[in-house]
């Protein structure tokens, strides 16, 4: 608590920090304002069916990640998730195609080229999802949505431009504000729905004469326990002892003194959750384009049921897969082994060089498996909360994508 108070005091003492917080706040206000600006030609008084559609299922998550822009038929309705989807595709291409793998290894110039390719791919994804979103609008609102090719074309352009503007806001937050801007934009959208979900759950429990208030307090205690578990998951580490040969490095002398390499249990952070959720959004995003007589396929319905068995099984497996994938991208045991060797460091009982790299890789694989499983369990926790009678909107904060992103981004931002 004392450290937290000191952090708050530092905000007012450090001019650069005050400036960054002010810029972040201003950009967030712009983002929230745009979430309520409806597409031209849409009568906002006729959005009851669209709002009802986002009260449950995967559409509710889509609305949450867009900060309510989805149900408002806003110019920001598609949010930041198309960019996440494009980023996933580009990173996967880096593992399969030599050209993209070379760009990943080319330093700053390669990253700039990959970022440009990701933006182009984002526009393609936005065009597809924009058409699907407008098809869904017409299905939900009927004659309220204007007919004609001009409305369709102009609205797709506006939706694509709106999402790219949201991406631009996120990049400005990263550059001139605090934290990772894209993750921060997602966090703002989630937090925007928390008060409404909390008040709705409290109101529903008050009407329950059979110990409703006690149940609500029990839910808050359970939520606190899940938050603590999520923090431990994000911050948990396995320390590997390293011994340095006797020498002087800088002003410090090492003579058989141990240091430690902290290997995180969940080195990928919240990115596997974001990546997996982006993939799970695809069926809901394009369902409107592939309907037969207004009916969505059984596969799409199964993948849109956030409390269903198949949705949670696929989501769980994707999280495990993306945890391994992102850990492999961010942690390079060979590079770590070379760094130790150059600094005359070694792991006791392990030969330097290739053997050290293999040892680090084995340790990372062993600690990543339980970390990814626990991450997957926390991610599907809202389905179990729903079985206990907790409202769908509030159950999303009992683990799941919402809670893990909130915990991960808040911790990163505080750091």
- Using CB atoms within 10 Å of the CB of residue 16, give its burial: 0 to 12 exposed, 13 to 18 middle, 19+ buried: exposed
Share of the chain above pLDDT 70, in %: 82
Q: What is the mean pLDDT of residues 390-402?
A: 72
- What are the tokens at 189? 């959208």
Q: What is the mean pLDDT of residues 9-22?
A: 77
Share of the chain above pLDDT 90, in %: 2
Domains and CATH numbers, the chain: 2-414 (1.10.3370.10)
**At 35, is the pLDDT very low, low, confident or very high (cuts 50, 70, 90)?**
confident
The predicted pLDDT at position 360 comes to: 82
Provide the phi-psi class of 12: left if phi over 0, else alpha when psi is between -120 and 50, else beta. Answer: alpha
- Dihedral (C-alpha) 272, 275, 281, 286: value to the nearest 10 degrees? -150
Summarize pLDDT for 260-272 with one digit per residue, the tens: 777 777 777 777 8
251 pLDDT more than 50: no
Of the ranges 202-216, 235-249, 311-325, the best mean pLDDT one: 311-325
19 pLDDT more than 80: yes
29 pLDDT more than 80: yes
Summarize pLDDT for 345-387 with one digit per residue, the tens: 777 777 888 888 888 888 888 888 888 888 888 888 888 877 7
392 pLDDT more than 80: no
User: Which is more confident, 311 or 212?
Assistant: 311
Q: What is the mean pLDDT of residues 135-141?
A: 76
The predicted pLDDT at position 1 comes to: 57
The predicted pLDDT at position 253 comes to: 47
**At 165, is the pLDDT very low, low, confident or very high (cuts 50, 70, 90)?**
very high
Q: What is the mean pLDDT of residues 133-158?
A: 80
The predicted pLDDT at position 4 comes to: 59
The predicted pLDDT at position 164 comes to: 92
Mean of per-residue pLDDT scores for the chain: 77
């Amino acid at each position: 608590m004392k450290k937290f108070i000191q952090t708050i005091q530092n905000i007012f003492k450090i001019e650069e920090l005050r400036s960054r917080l002010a810029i972040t706040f201003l950009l967030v206000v712009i983002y929230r304002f745009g979430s309520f600006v409806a597409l031209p030609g849409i009568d906002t008084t006729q959005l009851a069916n669209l709002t009802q559609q986002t009260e449950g299922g995967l559409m509710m998550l889509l609305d949450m990640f867009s900060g309510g822009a989805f149900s408002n038929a806003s110019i920001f309705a598609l949010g930041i998730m198309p960019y996440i989807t494009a980023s996933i595709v580009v990173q996967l291409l880096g593992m399969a195609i030599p050209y993209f793998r070379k760009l990943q290894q080319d330093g700053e110039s390669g990253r700039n080229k990959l970022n440009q390719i990701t933006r182009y791919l984002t526009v393609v994804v936005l065009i597809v999802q924009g058409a699907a979103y407008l098809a869904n609008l017409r299905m939900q609102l009927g004659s309220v949505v204007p007919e004609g090719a001009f409305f369709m074309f102009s609205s797709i352009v506006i939706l694509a431009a709106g999402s790219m503007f949201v991406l631009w806001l996120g990049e400005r937050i990263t550059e001139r504000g605090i934290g990772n801007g894209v993750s921060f934009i997602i966090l703002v959208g989630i937090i925007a729905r928390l008060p409404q979900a909390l008040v709705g759950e409290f109101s529903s429990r008050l009407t329950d004469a059979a110990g409703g208030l006690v149940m609500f307090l029990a839910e808050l205690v359970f939520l606190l326990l899940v938050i603590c578990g999520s923090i431990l998951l994000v911050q948990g580490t396995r320390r590997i002892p390293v011994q340095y040969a006797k020498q002087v490095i800088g002003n410090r002398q090492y003579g058989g003194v141990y240091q430690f390499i902290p290997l995180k249990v969940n080195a990928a952070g919240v990115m596997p959750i974001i990546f997996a959720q982006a993939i799970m959004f695809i069926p809901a995003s394009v369902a409107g384009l592939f309907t037969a007589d207004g009916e969505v396929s059984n596969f799409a319905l199964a993948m849109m049921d956030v409390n269903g068995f198949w949705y949670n099984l696929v989501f769980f497996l994707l999280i495990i897969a993306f945890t391994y994938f992102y850990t492999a991208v961010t942690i390079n045991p060979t590079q770590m082994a070379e760094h130790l060797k150059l600094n005359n460091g070694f792991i006791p009982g392990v030969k330097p060089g290739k053997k050290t790299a293999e040892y680090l890789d084995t340790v990372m694989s062993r600690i990543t498996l339980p970390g990814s499983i626990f991450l997957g369990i926390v991610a599907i926790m809202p389905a179990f909360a729903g079985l206990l009678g907790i409202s769908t909107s509030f159950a999303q904060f009992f683990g799941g994508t919402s809670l893990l992103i909130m915990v991960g981004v808040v911790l990163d931002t505080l750091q």
